[in-house]
Structure 1
């Protein structure tokens, strides 16, 4: 009876350890200084490559352009994938789309060996986030972005 109890505890420990390490890995932050107007490789998880880029866009005529971060997802698998995550923007003052925020979580489906690209006019979603608004004097100062709470299914 004791051997089964010890085995159960060890199994639970290793399952917990794997969950914790995958959560830590999936929440690496990329400093805003590293994000350029060209696609920058961020990370790869289960055959899905994540790229980020900065895009400035004039949304309102006569106003300064807003700064967005866009995501490009490349499925290198031979089968379609479904994923969901938060595109979190971290600031000195706080965070947008962080933790368990459901506001920008949407299912993304990527066919086998295909790519999906975000656009600035998509709003706050997994493939784009408003990073900085120079027209607002109280706008938060961006520090980093991260892909958080990533789930990938085949």
Structure 2
């Protein structure tokens, strides 16, 4: 854990007795402490303040008075387009109740490359969509030899 000097010289080090926890700066509600930290980082490292963040690693960041909101709306739309599902019908539950899937399921084989690509995209979406986490984990068990049953379950999540 790193600490920020609470005194005037603003150094970063690992001495816990002289410094406040960095978590307090990041999660706290003290604008002066945050500004002091930012200036210490700019002085210590070659950086500049480029303002508010709007987009980071495929996530949209909206900073408003009542909080910071993270979404992956564009990424989700791109995944829908990639798998030609822009006009799909929305469902309330990502996993159909009562459906049993097995690695020994019979049926039309699906390209494991396509299946893995969709599973990976959905795994990335779980960062902001925890409601699909169980379903994605469930269907990811069948990446070795996916069949149409597994692919339909995956498409339902999408």
The bucket for the TM-score relative to the shorter chain is: under 0.3
Higher relative contact order structure (alpha carbons within 8 Å, sequence separation ≥ 6): 1
Larger Rg: 2
TM-score (norm 2): 0.27
Q: Which has the higher strand share?
A: 1
TM-score (norm 1): 0.27
